[in-house]
Structure 1
Amino acid sequence: MFKRATVLGKTYQFRDLKEVMAKANEEKSGDQLAGIAAEDSRERIAAKQVLADLTLAEIRNNPLLPPEEDEVSLVIEEGVNEKVYSRIKNWSVAELREYILSHQVGLREIKWLSRGLTSEMIAAVTKLMSNLDLITAAAKIQNQTHCNITIGQKGVLAARAQPNHPTDSIPGIKAALYEALSYGIGDAVIGINPVIDTTDSVKDILVATKEVMDKWQIPTQNCVLAHVTTQMRAIRQGAPADMIFQSIAGTELGNKAFGIDVSLLDEATELIRKEGTSAGPNFWYFETGQGSELSSEAHFGIDQVTLESRCYGLARKYQPFIVNTVVGFIGPEYLYDSKEVIRAGLEDHFMGKLHGLPMGVDVCYTNHMKADQNDMENLGVLLAAAGVNYVIGVAMADDCMLNYQSLSFHDIATLREVFGLRPAPEFEKWLERMGIMENGKLTEIAGDPSIFM
């Protein structure tokens, strides 16, 4: 027996930290599918009560997946600043939560704090927070990065233009891209998911997007979201890539299912630094999403929030330009409905930011999930309030290649308008030169892609 707690006259006993972490999690269909979720609200409250009283040292001293057995755990352990950790190790998780939410604690203090935290500690404090807590805490944190331009400043909402096409048609990609640009979308990255994961296809798309950037002198970054090995072959053959991309998991076995490991990520890092076409120093684009480890049977009985946090512990090693959780993409097996998707989006955003990452969210859902576009707009509003670095836009909010729903270009423009947010400064100056934006507002020609014809 690890710990116990009594709620409404019933005593709950927990075997180990892994069980406490899982049962303290807010309701998620993925945890239920894995058979590790709390049976009811009372057991969840009991687990939260136990978790709140644990010290950060107890969490670190009871590894969910030992570093000698898992290279993601090793990366997380090696990333801890021991001087910071020594000053906070006797804090309880409840005290950590109170510190982060204190109105007297700001960006500098949180950045100092984060250097001494493991991913499991960050997951633990997340489980004790309400949705508003997650928004309040994340809004304190700004993590700036630079590839060709800088994003992450306070008051900036950047956006990825995702002009996917079901046949990788270059004219089709350009048509969607021009619409995105006409709404002021594309400062985070022009990023395309290819249908065909081949070196030639990746090269063709990278060349095409770079030609658009050069012709119109657009200050942004390009990226093709193929497997990292395909991108590496394309780069070695001269393809103009500003960043390199890969989906990552929170366990070594989960990453093997993606066809990657730390040594491959290290090799890709050296390649993009030497042969990439951007200024840097931040060259990586990582994507994550709650439930990916369960889908590859690589979860080791660990709950999906904690595994997601571990993804960010791995990403932190590589100082990426952007990271995002594709929050509702995997499906209802892991996030059943809009309530779970919204919660996960706020959790992931906060956890990524507390890791020091430039965190974005693909505000999205699949058509077989119990959610709709209104739910996504609600999440978009909450994330804008939380200071999300960037979100993703697709034409008419409907990705015709990946067959899922996200935010539209005009949705993101509306979020900027409602919250008084701006594109990245260099990108906004370009929008002003093009006549698309003036004094932070879109002009009459905005939304008309024919200006690029």
Structure 2
Amino acid sequence: MSYACALGASNYVFPDLRTLLARASPDRAGDRLAGLAARSGEERVAARIALADVELVRFLGETLVPYETDEVTRLILDSHDRAAFAPVASMTVGDFRDFLLSDEASGRFLAALAPGITPEMAAAVSKLMRNQDLIAAARKISVVSRFRTTIGLPGRLSARLQPNHPSDDLTGIGAAILDGLMYGCGDACIGINPATDSAARALLLLERIDDLRLRFDIPTQSCVLAHVTTTLQVIARGGPVDLVFQSVAGSEAANRAFGVDLALLDEAHSAVRGLNRAPQGANLMYFETGQGAALSAGAHHGVDQQTMEARAYAVARRYSPLLVNTVVGFIGPEYLYDGKEIIRAGLEDHFCGKLLGLPMGADVCYTNHARADQDDMDNLLTLLGVAGCAYVMGVPGADDIMLGYQSTSYHDALYVRRALGLRPAPEFESWLKTYEIMDARARVRPKLTGRSAKLLGRGAS
């Protein structure tokens, strides 16, 4: 089915829904690289006008990636909840955008709606929204996940403490963890990207984090962000695995490039649940995504990168994860060229993930060859804080010396909490106060002569 829009003296025709979505997308490097972007601003406007008139039910009948050859498409359609979808089933994409911004679209209503929304619907409506629309709609939605801490509550912002080291040096990692705790970071998790994808190394790192957690009764969860097959080896050895991590993408072929499929993720989810380390009903998976992953793998099927990103959230949603975050500027300027494109992508990803019912965080980041700087990241961090982002990264000095990119620092998390009146997860906040790292007014002011000094002294031994 083709879609058309007459605009001025021109008549624009889009041969299929895939093309229409790509042409309606805000301009970005990845879509230009793939030859999918609108060829002019006028064509982009025409595509958005045509997209606004597309009925939401159309996305259930016209697939962007073939059902027969793609397990992500099958997952999206086979798990679609038509009863949840019913309240908006008669809407067009434009109607849906207006509804999301209305008072009738309460947080409770949107939570119930989530199983009825497909990634393609979420991506489509985001293309009709300004940045402020993405913020306003996302802010209504609270997606709460739990392990030893409760993440995503209104008025709260968590931080993943990310103490990476280029040689996995235990002393360096330990120092970075203690530094982060003194800044009030770590309530999302203590998550290490290992320099080597080795089961023995992952096991050692997890054991050290677990020893620190148990010694000081720290309410957090640990994760070594190794490949899922490596984590399965650690589980088989009886290692203290709290969360299974994996990067995922929006097509079967792109996930294959990551070395995973749904069957393998099912196996990992079952294995970590079998360890019985978490409270009853806890969320046990951690997924990272990022616009451009499918294109970089040659597995985008002619679909624009933002829609492919939203499809990755269907994979994450299958496992009711504790954490999901878009590593928004990590892949590089070939996909998101500058600060403006990174900011837009971060707001889109956060909105789409929350609309689909995911506990969305963001790695507010960029690579050093992108046309972006830390001021751009300050802007995105602040906007995501306003939008109700569940968590952000805490990296020493905002400079990840192992992965070689720029992110947000411990004091950046402190800034956005202070500026917007946000607090850590409640269990972690109580611990911070017990250890005299946070005072009664929720200010992070460690008393280095009290219990926090004991934490530093013992942790350094």
What range is the shorter-chain TM-score in? over 0.9
Q: Which residue of 1 aligns with 2:428?
A: 427
Offset, 1:297: 0.2
State how 1:53-132 maps to structure 2 within 5 Å: 53-132=53-132
| 1: CA distance, partners of 2:123 / 2:370 | 25
Q: Which residue of 1 aligns with 2:389?
A: 388
1:256-306 CA distance string (max 9 Å, x none): 000000000000010000025222521000000000000000000000110
State how 1:12-51 maps to structure 2 within 5 Å: 12-51=12-51
Within the candidate set 439, 442, 458, 1:440 is matched to 442
Q: Which residue of 1 aligns with 2:309?
A: 308
State how 1:222-241 maps to structure 2 within 5 Å: 222-241=222-241
Offset, 1:445: 3.9
| 2: CA distance, partners of 1:11 / 1:287 | 40
1:34-72 CA distance string (max 9 Å, x none): 001000110000000110000011122111013222101
| 2: CA distance, partners of 1:411 / 1:139 | 20
- Letter aligned with residue 358 of structure 2: L
| 2: CA distance, partners of 1:277 / 1:426 | 17
| 1: CA distance, partners of 2:345 / 2:145 | 24
Q: Which residue of 2 aligns with 1:252?
A: 252
Is the 1:243–1:276 Cα contact (8 Å) retained in structure 2? no
Unmatched runs of 5 consecutive residues or more in structure 2: none
| 1: CA distance, partners of 2:112 / 2:435 | 41
Distance 1:444-1:169 versus aligned 2 partners, 3 A rule: closer
Helix, strand or coil at the partner of 2:432: helix
Is the 1:72–1:310 Cα contact (8 Å) retained in structure 2? yes
Is the 1:241–1:276 Cα contact (8 Å) retained in structure 2? no
Helix, strand or coil at the partner of 1:431: helix
Offset, 1:134: 0.3
- Letter aligned with residue 425 of structure 1: P
Offset, 1:450: 4.1
- Letter aligned with residue 351 of structure 2: F
- Letter aligned with residue 429 of structure 1: S
- Answering whether residue 241 of structure 2 is matched by residue 217 of structure 1, we say no
- Letter aligned with residue 372 of structure 1: D
| 2: CA distance, partners of 1:377 / 1:277 | 36
Helix, strand or coil at the partner of 2:223: strand
- Answering whether residue 236 of structure 2 is matched by residue 243 of structure 1, we say no
- Letter aligned with residue 180 of structure 2: A
| 2: CA distance, partners of 1:78 / 1:211 | 43
| 1: CA distance, partners of 2:331 / 2:411 | 25
Is the 1:250–1:293 Cα contact (8 Å) retained in structure 2? yes
Q: Which residue of 2 aligns with 1:416?
A: 417
Q: Which residue of 2 aligns with 1:268?
A: 268
Helix, strand or coil at the partner of 1:437: coil
Offset, 1:385: 0.3
Offset, 1:444: 4.9
Helix, strand or coil at the partner of 1:6: strand
- Letter aligned with residue 239 of structure 1: G
* Bigger mean CA offset, 168-177 vs 66-75: 66-75
Is the 1:363–1:406 Cα contact (8 Å) retained in structure 2? yes
- Letter aligned with residue 407 of structure 1: T
Helix, strand or coil at the partner of 1:442: coil
Q: Which residue of 2 aligns with 1:11?
A: 11
Percent identity of equivalent pairs? 49
1:398-446 CA distance string (max 9 Å, x none): 0000000001101111110111100000000000011010121112548
- Answering whether residue 353 of structure 2 is matched by residue 356 of structure 1, we say no
- Letter aligned with residue 352 of structure 2: M
Helix, strand or coil at the partner of 2:57: helix
| 1: CA distance, partners of 2:278 / 2:396 | 26
Q: Which residue of 2 aligns with 1:401?
A: 402
Is the 1:29–1:335 Cα contact (8 Å) retained in structure 2? yes
Is the 1:290–1:327 Cα contact (8 Å) retained in structure 2? yes
| 1: CA distance, partners of 2:79 / 2:282 | 19
Q: Which residue of 2 aligns with 1:289?
A: 290
Q: Which residue of 2 aligns with 1:327?
A: 328
- Letter aligned with residue 192 of structure 1: I
Q: Which residue of 2 aligns with 1:344?
A: 345
Aligned residue pair count: 453
* Bigger mean CA offset, 433-442 vs 241-250: 433-442
Is the 1:221–1:278 Cα contact (8 Å) retained in structure 2? no
Is the 2:250–2:294 Cα contact (8 Å) retained in structure 1? yes
| 2: CA distance, partners of 1:444 / 1:381 | 25
1:211-234 CA distance string (max 9 Å, x none): 111111100000000000001101
Is the 1:367–1:405 Cα contact (8 Å) retained in structure 2? yes
| 1: CA distance, partners of 2:118 / 2:149 | 30
Is the 2:182–2:446 Cα contact (8 Å) retained in structure 1? no
| 2: CA distance, partners of 1:378 / 1:161 | 21
| 2: CA distance, partners of 1:36 / 1:45 | 15
1:117-171 CA distance string (max 9 Å, x none): 1110111001011000000000000000111221110000000000000000111
Offset, 1:24: 0.3
| 1: CA distance, partners of 2:383 / 2:40 | 27
- The runs of 4+ residues in structure 1 deviating greater than 6 Å are 446-449
| 1: CA distance, partners of 2:431 / 2:415 | 19
| 2: CA distance, partners of 1:265 / 1:129 | 33
- Letter aligned with residue 146 of structure 2: H
| 2: CA distance, partners of 1:4 / 1:105 | 30
State how 1:183-198 maps to structure 2 within 5 Å: 183-198=183-198
1:172-227 CA distance string (max 9 Å, x none): 11110100000000000000000110110000100011111111110000000000
Is the 2:235–2:241 Cα contact (8 Å) retained in structure 1? yes
Helix, strand or coil at the partner of 1:64: coil
Helix, strand or coil at the partner of 1:412: helix
Is the 1:235–1:276 Cα contact (8 Å) retained in structure 2? no
1:8-29 CA distance string (max 9 Å, x none): 2211111100000000000110
